[in-house]
Structure 1
């Protein structure tokens, strides 16, 4: 019997007992849907976690190199124009698009300041927005307008004001010079545990320093470059020839390796949970086997007639095996659709979106087909081994 005839014969047999077939396939649908839902959400978590590893919309990738001075009290910046020239000289070999010095990246900077004619090492708080955490004792706070216009205005702490002036009020409208730029003092604030001495606009600070010095270097690479490998080369070069390599060290945190490790852990957890959910497929497989055994016993007369008209035991085995695979295959396709829909619905309430790929469909259909073969082979073999003489008796 041709494979197409076997297919339609198996399909007609399943449709003859629709209710039983539907109830049997329900276990496969639930199992596959559970696995696909978990894997799709797991892939969504992985994609969101590894987002920083992906290239930008233009295909470019970036990373950051930090400078750490051996002298913790040093206010000298680790990166200067000479470092940019050193890196740019080998820009092509590194696959670099550009290198930029970042003057500050964590909201504060150590700097040397001149207050009332005296030099002082200060901690500068860089404001992206007006700070409500600062308690103004005299004068007024830096406004959003000051920040947007990059006005050279500053707030100083009560400690600095009383150290260099007779009172906090006398400090108002004076100037404080930071890195050669003069800022007008418009207010005095109460120290927050003494951590900050001066507060200025981050925009003003970065514009006034023209990105010529800082302790962070942002590297932008071409599409497809091995960012970790190339950054290590640049760090090695800086530690040998950098402007301050004798006073400190240049370091790079390989976020790529860290995030890939996180991704592997997420993948492991996803597949572990999926395996637990897949136990329902084993239970469903037993249900398929039970149904097929019942079907074989009920259709003894049909098997006898087919053997009598010349059907081979092999064709009998293939027909019943095909019925089991059709049953689980339909369950796999249905389960895949339901799983995708469920994952999408759940992801609407999460900060990431479920990811469904072709491999998920192949997994759903492949696993369901394997379940059909594994749990359908024994009933099919029993059907193929029936003896015509015994059936006629």
Structure 2
């Protein structure tokens, strides 16, 4: 029974923690702390040159006027980038993975160790100039000032290095005008619209209605189309991956159940051999081989079943205790209880059937001798 208890407890602990991870992960992905859920609608222009827009204040007004019918709590426009991009750049014949800061205005506030800053004129006239960090310049050119008047190639555009800036932080390696970068990265993707729904709303259904409304009355519906990512399918996929990993690890832990089952079978064989006289007496007073079979099989199932129930209690308690030190709580449901009960019962039947058959096949004459 101890082997069954340990095996079931291990499996229940892992499954309970895995379910807790799944619940916490999906909750964090689809809802805010207040329980409100959000989704994002994107705009795709038919013409590449029209991709700078997509949503404006008229779209917000349209949604606000009909927000109640969609269960919409709020909506706001998201810019297409946050001012930085991670790209591959070529410096002095060397390919480097770098973080580029896209400048909308002069970098006059940036501390320069060699050369000079990017001016507002450079920004206005979209001059292909660049600043590189002192750290990056030292790694490529040994002496940072040697980087001046060299070229750095980003997405096929050659930028003239006019300055080396001090590394106040490690977030940026290169700075270039945003206008120049945008010219080399033409896209038909406009800005985005984030929708936040009230708690309990069917986000997928309501988002489809909003997208349909925008495609009919949106500010740019004649120049492109509005689409959204179906988060429900993505979340379902994430949940499936977490479940698969949980059950895989549980299966490994469940190997101990196989070992415990062999122990149960050996114990039952010993019990049958030690209770030969009992079997003989029962046969002599009218018991059938089937009665003997069910007696020993029931004993094996009771042994493993009780062990499974004890293991479920220990496993659930252990998972709860462990989760106190984790950022999520273990989930112990009816499914875990049924799993513990069914698996332990199956182990009892599987490994108890042979000893039970051995007991049922004993010959009364041989026993009396």
State TM-score, norm by structure 1. 0.62
Whether 1:42 aligns to 2:2 is: no
Q: CA deviation at 1:299?
A: 0.3
**Could you tell me whether the CA contact under 8 Å between 1:84 and 1:99 is conserved in 2?**
no
Q: CA deviation at 1:389?
A: 2.2
Q: How does 1:93-242 map to 2 (within 5 A)?
A: 95-102=70-77, 104=79, 107=82, 123=104, 135=110, 159-160=119-120, 193-195=174-176, 215-242=191-218
Cα deviation, 1:238-261, whole Å, max 9, x if unaligned, reads 234311234454332333321211
Q: CA deviation at 1:219?
A: 2.3
Whether 1:65 aligns to 2:41 is: yes
The equivalent of 1:203 in structure 2 is none
The alpha-carbon distance between structure 1 residues 329 and 388, as it changes in their structure 2 partners (threshold 3 A), is same
What is the root-mean-square deviation in Å for CA atoms of aligned residues?
3.7
Q: 1:332 aligns with which of 308, 322, 343?
A: 308
CA distance in 1, matches of 2:57, 2:27: 31
The equivalent of 1:310 in structure 2 is 286
State TM-score, norm by structure 2. 0.65
Q: How does 1:356-367 map to 2 (within 5 A)?
A: 356-367=332-343
**Could you tell me whether the CA contact under 8 Å between 2:41 and 2:227 is conserved in 1?**
yes
Q: What SS does the corresponding residue of 1:194 show, helix, strand or coil? A: strand
Q: 1:322 aligns with which of 298, 309, 326?
A: 298
CA distance in 2, matches of 1:91, 1:122: 36
**Could you tell me whether the CA contact under 8 Å between 1:79 and 1:101 is conserved in 2?**
no
The alpha-carbon distance between structure 1 residues 266 and 385, as it changes in their structure 2 partners (threshold 3 A), is same
**Could you tell me whether the CA contact under 8 Å between 2:55 and 2:220 is conserved in 1?**
yes
CA distance in 1, matches of 2:50, 2:72: 31
Whether 1:84 aligns to 2:60 is: yes
Q: CA deviation at 1:222?
A: 4.9
Q: CA deviation at 1:342?
A: 3.3
CA distance in 1, matches of 2:325, 2:80: 32
In structure 2, the gaps of 5 or more residues are 85-101, 125-164, 179-189
Q: How many residues align?
A: 290
Whether 1:255 aligns to 2:207 is: no
The alpha-carbon distance between structure 1 residues 385 and 162, as it changes in their structure 2 partners (threshold 3 A), is closer
Q: CA deviation at 1:379?
A: 1.4
Q: What SS does the corresponding residue of 2:353 show, helix, strand or coil? A: helix
**Could you tell me whether the CA contact under 8 Å between 2:30 and 2:38 is conserved in 1?**
no
The alpha-carbon distance between structure 1 residues 135 and 351, as it changes in their structure 2 partners (threshold 3 A), is farther
Q: 1:282 aligns with which of 258, 261, 271?
A: 258
CA distance in 2, matches of 1:123, 1:326: 75
CA distance in 2, matches of 1:329, 1:124: 73
Q: 2:9 aligns with which of 30, 33, 37?
A: 33
Q: CA deviation at 1:91?
A: 4.7
**Could you tell me whether the CA contact under 8 Å between 2:105 and 2:120 is conserved in 1?**
no
The equivalent of 2:221 in structure 1 is 245
Cα deviation, 1:64-111, whole Å, max 9, x if unaligned, reads 223456777879653234323444565566x333442235596459xx
The equivalent of 1:352 in structure 2 is 328
The equivalent of 2:362 in structure 1 is 386
The alpha-carbon distance between structure 1 residues 53 and 76, as it changes in their structure 2 partners (threshold 3 A), is closer
Higher mean displacement: 346-355 or 297-306 = 346-355
The alpha-carbon distance between structure 1 residues 360 and 105, as it changes in their structure 2 partners (threshold 3 A), is farther
Q: CA deviation at 1:271?
A: 1.3
Q: What SS does the corresponding residue of 1:337 show, helix, strand or coil? A: helix
CA distance in 2, matches of 1:353, 1:309: 57
Q: How does 1:287-298 map to 2 (within 5 A)?
A: 287-298=263-274
